[in-house]
């Protein structure tokens, strides 16, 4: 089955800096890669996703890149703000199989 590894487990940045979180997956058949943000006491919220036929996707300060050859994808947050502080989960899914989550990254943005 799919195995998703996520790094780093914790990340601390100054407000205004960029943050990058990386994930690798094992199953080359995976074709859908969402990123979720989970704030304390809340459920995971989808912030961006990418499908295997696309290499990069942007939504304002958030971007995701996908390298299918290397089987890794990354979340990029620019101009970070304190409200970006949360736990971020990557996930990978292949057709006809479960979605697998990474272990999560706790991002802290210091004012």
Partner 1 sequence: DTEVTQTPKHLVMGMTNKKSLKCEQHMGHRAMYWYKQKAKKPPELMFVYSYEKLSINESVPSRFSPECPNSSLLNLHLHALQPEDSALYLCASSQESYRWGEETQYFGPGTRLLVL
> Minimum distance from CB of 43 to partner 1 (Å)?
4
Take residue 76 and report the two structure tokens written for it.
């990029």
Q: What x-and-dash track marks residues 19-58 binding partner 1 by CB under 8 A?
A: ------------xx-x-x----xxxxxx--x-x-------
In the complex with partner 1, the residue whose CB is nearer, 7 or 78, is: 7
> Are the beta carbons of 47 and 38 closer than 8 angstroms?
no
Phi and psi at 91, nearest 5°, equal -150, 155
> Would you state the structure tokens that stand for residue 102, as one six-digit string?
């990474």
CA 9 – CA 46 distance, rounded (Å): 19
Where does this chain bind partner 1 (CB under 8 A)? 31-32, 34, 36, 41-46, 49, 51, 89, 93, 95-99, 101-104
């Amino acid at each position: 089955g799919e195995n998703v590894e996520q790094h780093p487990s914790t990340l601390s940045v100054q407000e205004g800096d960029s943050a990058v979180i990386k994930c690798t997956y094992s199953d080359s058949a995976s074709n859908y890669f969402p990123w979720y943000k989970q704030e304390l006491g809340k459920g995971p919220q989808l912030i961006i996703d990418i499908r295997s036929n696309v290499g990069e996707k942007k939504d304002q300060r958030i971007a995701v890149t996908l390298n299918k050859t290397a089987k890794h994808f990354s979340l990029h947050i620019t101009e970070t703000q304190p409200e970006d502080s949360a736990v971020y989960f990557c996930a990978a899914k292949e057709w006809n199989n479960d979605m697998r989550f990474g272990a999560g990254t706790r991002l802290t943005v210091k004012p």
